[in-house]
């Protein structure tokens, strides 16, 4: 009987990378003061025995770090392992446990480069497992539920936090401390409640199998950096980033991705020297940057990130620049993904 149920259940692999979901604090009252990336994947799985009701689950520790320390090399390593597993006949779905600080970047990266319809779900927690009302157990349970559900196939990389199913493209950490941290300007795709998914919308942007990018063809990522804008900003950071080798600079602009008159000349100069300038917005609840609004992008040959926040724009620019250095092509890619 047991063997029969095992056969019917989906095979889900949990790839653990660290983060608060694997964190531990000194006491149950420590919901914000703790060390991330302490618990191994076997302990995470053992902590939620109910996972066995949802799927045949096995774990792999890909790395053990807080997500603010993830590098491009780590990102490639993780994505390549996801791709190998997705190609394997005995894997139906993949869950990635991840710190929440850069979870949105990893989820978007995988959404762009993984050539599979199999569900890939990225999940984290806002409180360590040792804290009162820890959110990691339920988030992980929900992630495995979504990853083992056939309905989740072909919907792009997903994120399950706080009972919501979010698109890995759209979702962003919008609040810290609170468990309702992950929001998307375009709303969640669905809900997951007591192990069952309820879907309401689909992503309109190209992803996974419909993406022109493939992790199997990517062995390194170009240097793309972000410069933050504010009143009284100078061009120092932009120039320094270019000097350190940035192939593109994401302008984390005010409002509509506006650029201070003190910075415009430097950006024109940097672009003449081959650095792509990509205008995004750092407003909190979803920027919306349009070409030639605020700045004459056609004239300067700059690119706009549209609704992508600066950190997501960096991910797309890196992926796009593995294939093209042409600003028109980059702009097409920014509209389509």
Ligand X SMILES: NC(=O)C[C@H](N)C(=O)O
Interface contacts to ligand X, rule CB under 6 A: 19-20, 36, 66-68, 99-101, 124, 126
Query: With the C-alpha atoms ordered 201, 214, 95, 55, is the resulting torsion angle positive or negative?
Result: positive
Q: By the 8 A CB rule, do 307 and 283 touch?
A: no
Nearest approach, Cβ of 177 to ligand X (angstroms)? 9
- Rounded to whole angstroms, the Cα distance separating 3 from 20 reads 34
Backbone angles phi and psi of 216, in degrees to 5: -65, -20
CA dist., res. 47 & res. 183, Å (int): 27
- Nearest approach in angstroms of CB 160 to ligand X is 14
- Nearer to ligand X by Cβ, of 92 and 104: the residue is 104
Which residue among the candidates 20, 97, 100, 130 is catalytic per the annotation?
A: 20
What minimum distance in Å lies between the beta carbon of 67 and ligand X? 3
Q: Of 178 and 328, which has the nearer Cβ to ligand X?
A: 178
26: which 2 tokens? 């000194």
**Nearer CB in complex with ligand X: 176/236:** 176
- State how far the Cα of 333 lies from the Cα of 252, in Å rounded to an integer: 19
Q: How far apart are CA 201 and CA 258, in angstroms?
A: 32
Q: Nearer Cβ to ligand X, position 67 or 280?
A: 67
Does residue 17 carry a catalytic annotation? no
Pairing of strands 55-65, 10-18: parallel
* Euclidean distance between CA atoms 198 and 6, whole angstroms: 24
**Of 68 and 87, which has the nearer Cβ to ligand X?**
68
Cβ-closest position to ligand X: 99
- Nearest Cα neighbor of 68 from 47, 38, 45, 37 is 37
As measured in angstroms, the least distance from the Cβ of 92 to ligand X is: 26
Nearest distance, CB of residue 179 and ligand X, angstroms: 10
CB of 178 to ligand X, least distance (A): 11
Q: How far apart are CA 30 and CA 130, in angstroms?
A: 8
- Containing 316, the helix (H) or strand (E) segment is helix 310-320
Transcribe 197-230 into DSSP letters: EEE-----S--GGG-S--GGG-S----EEEEE--
In total, the chain counts a number of residues equal to 337
Q: Which is nearer to ligand X, 181 or 215 (CB)?
A: 181
User: Which tokens belong to 73?
Assistant: 């090399």
Question: Which residues have a catalytic role annotated?
Answer: 20
């Amino acid at each position: 009987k047991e063997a029969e149920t095992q056969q019917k259940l989906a095979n889900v692999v949990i790839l653990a990378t660290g983060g608060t979901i694997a964190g531990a604090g000194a006491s149950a009252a420590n919901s914000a003061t703790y060390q991330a990336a302490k618990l191994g994947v076997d302990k995470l799985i053992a902590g939620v025995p109910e996972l066995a009701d949802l799927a045949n689950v096995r774990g792999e520790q890909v790395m053990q770090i807080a997500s603010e320390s993830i590098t491009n090399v780590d990102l490639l390593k993780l994505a390549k392992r996801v791709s190998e597993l997705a190609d394997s006949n005995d894997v139906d779905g993949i869950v990635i446990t991840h710190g929440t600080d850069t979870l949105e970047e990893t989820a978007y990266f995988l959404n762009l480069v993984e050539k599979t319809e199999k569900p890939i779900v990225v999940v984290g927690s806002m409180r360590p497992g040792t804290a009162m009302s820890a959110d990691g157990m339920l988030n992980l349970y929900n992630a495995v539920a979504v990853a083992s559900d056939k309905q989740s196939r072909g919907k792009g990389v997903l994120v399950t936090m706080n009972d919501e199913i979010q698109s890995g493209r759209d979702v962003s950490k919008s609040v810290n401390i609170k468990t309702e941290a992950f929001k998307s300007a375009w709303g969640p795709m669905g809900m997951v409640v007591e192990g069952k998914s309820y879907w309401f919308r689909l992503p309109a942007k190209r992803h996974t199998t419909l993406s022109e990018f493939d992790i199997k063809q990517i062995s390194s990522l170009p240097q793309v950096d972000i410069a933050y804008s504010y009143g009284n900003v100078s061009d120092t950071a932009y120039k320094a980033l270019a000097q350190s080798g940035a192939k593109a600079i994401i302008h984390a602009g005010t409002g509509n991705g506006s650029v201070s008159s003190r910075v415009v000349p430097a950006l024109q100069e940097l672009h003449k020297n081959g650095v792509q300038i990509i205008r995004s917005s750092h407003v909190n609840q979803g920027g919306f940057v349009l070409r030639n609004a605020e700045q004459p992008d056609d004239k300067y040959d700059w690119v706009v990130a549209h609704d992508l926040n600066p950190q997501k724009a960096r991910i797309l620019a890196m992926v796009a620049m593995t294939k093209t250095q042409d600003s028109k092509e980059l702009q097409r890619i920014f509209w389509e993904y």
